[in-house]
Amino acid sequence: MRSFKSALSNGHRAERAWVDAQRSAGRAAAHGKKLVLTKHCKMKDHCGTPDAAVLMTIEIKERNLTFTKPEDFPYDTVFVDDLRGLGQESLRPFAYVFLSKQTGEWVWVTPLDQDESWSEKVVRDTTRGHEMGMLVCPRSHLRPAQQLIDYLLPHQFLELIDGDTECFVVGGGEAEERERYVEKTDPTVDSRSGKNASKTRNDMG
């Protein structure tokens, strides 16, 4: 039978390998802190350190509608995202949050739930004054806010992430002006213009 320390060491090795593999593939992943507790009793104590942490994106869409929960959302269907923008996205959101302008409450959907009940429709964009393709889902796929909150890392647990996590507590949210989006963010933009593409930084973080 393997000793506890041996099993712990093998587990840590697997966790580090997984995080390193994600980083090597250019994905944002961080290590959880590896705490060795000398007086830990596995029968009574629980150490909630994460094996790893990853960044996933959330789209937030304010709606001029009155609702507080999925059940009182005023329509049978939900406009999730415009198809043109969605087709150009290389980064898929984990969740779409819909915020009620009237109540301040919010609900959400996840593309992981997408099935044959989701559809693509042409709708009239009253703000822009033209028709556009829209990804639509049934109201039944809306989830209460608490289900997403349960998966968001509370501030007091950020100390268990091995690295600087200050940006998740304070700062940010300001507008930055750029001429074009891809010029600064897309590592392949130089190759499109006949120049050598810069390699993705795999040693960051």
- Report percent pLDDT > 90 for the chain: 56
Joined tokens for residue 98: 């819909």
Domains in the chain: boundaries: 1-54, 58-149
pTM of the model: 0.78
More confident residue, 46 or 23: 23
| pLDDT 10s digits, 142-167 | 999 999 999 999 999 999 999 999 99
Q: What is the mean predicted confidence (pLDDT) over 127-133?
A: 78
Alpha-carbon distance of 37 to 69, in angstroms, equals 42
| Confidence at residue 7, expressed as pLDDT on a 0 to 100 scale | 53
| pLDDT 10s digits, 86-105 | 877 778 899 999 999 999 99
